[in-house]
Amino acid sequence: MKRGKKYIESAKNIEKAKIYESEEGLSLVCSNAKAKFDETVEVHLRMGLDSRHADQQVRGAVVLPNGTGKKVRTLVFAKGDKAEAAKEAGSDFVGAEDLVQKIQQENWFDYDVIIATPDMMGVIGRLGKILGPKGLMPNPKAGTVTMDVAKAVKEAKAGKIEYRLDKTNIIHCPIGKVSFGTEKLSQNFATLLTAIIKAKPAAAKGQYIKSCVVTSTMGPGVKVNPAVKVVSEG
């Protein structure tokens, strides 16, 4: 892959073989982000797991303390009181069978997160082939299949992100924007890593997190130490 001048210059500031502590690594990512837009900072974790085995899956969600810097549009499938609760919580779209038809017929994707009450999953199941490949299907482990739709909407808009092991045994997650600065990004990083460490499957053997790289949208990756002080709850 041919790299641009800015990328090549930024890469010179990073020691390829070195594993940085998270704060120093995130500081390097911020200082080397040269794009004209506010780049997203991402974490890429290579896991010592085999995604082909059901008992080695890692999937969940966590609310980042400083959000993601992205405006999140929510779509809620619910009826009656739950639909009203979703509207009051500020969901961008709320509906039932009508929205299933809109997605099927119009290929409609003007939303980032789908939340549903359990009774609506039979209806949404028809959209599996459309929503599945885009990672949009609601899932109980991610907290997006729930009776408390109002809470789910508020969490999604506050910066809740989903993490999951992909087919190549890597977890990719955004943790904010370059403009957040090192301190806020470090807090988000620690919160994400703590959640993933707590989600370690019982069947995991050997080294759980093999490597951790942080990067901005257009910048070079920086290897960092994935060890964090576990963030206590409450």
| Domain layout of the chain by residue ranges | 10-67+160-223, 74-157
At 35 the pLDDT is 87
Spell out the alpha helix ranges (H) of the chain. 5-11, 22-31, 80-88, 97-106, 121-124, 128-131, 149-158, 181-198
CATH code of the domain occupying 74-157: 3.40.50.790
At 97 the pLDDT is 93
Q: What is the amino acid identity at position 198?
A: K
Which stretches of the chain score pLDDT less than 50?
A: 231-234
> What is the β-pairing status of strands 74-77 and 93-95?
parallel
At 231 the pLDDT is 47
pLDDT digits (tens, 9 = 90+) for 165-195: 999 999 999 999 999 999 999 999 999 999 9
Which of 223, 212, 218, 211 shows the shortest CA–CA distance to 178? Answer: 218
At 17 the pLDDT is 86
Q: What is the CATH superfamily name and number for domain 10-67+160-223?
A: Ribosomal protein L1/L10, rRNA-binding domain (3.30.190.20)
At 83 the pLDDT is 96
pTM (predicted TM-score):
0.80
Cα atoms in the 13 Å half-sphere on the side-chain side of 4: 8
At 15 the pLDDT is 83
At 232 the pLDDT is 47
- CA distance linking residue 158 with residue 135, whole number of Å: 20
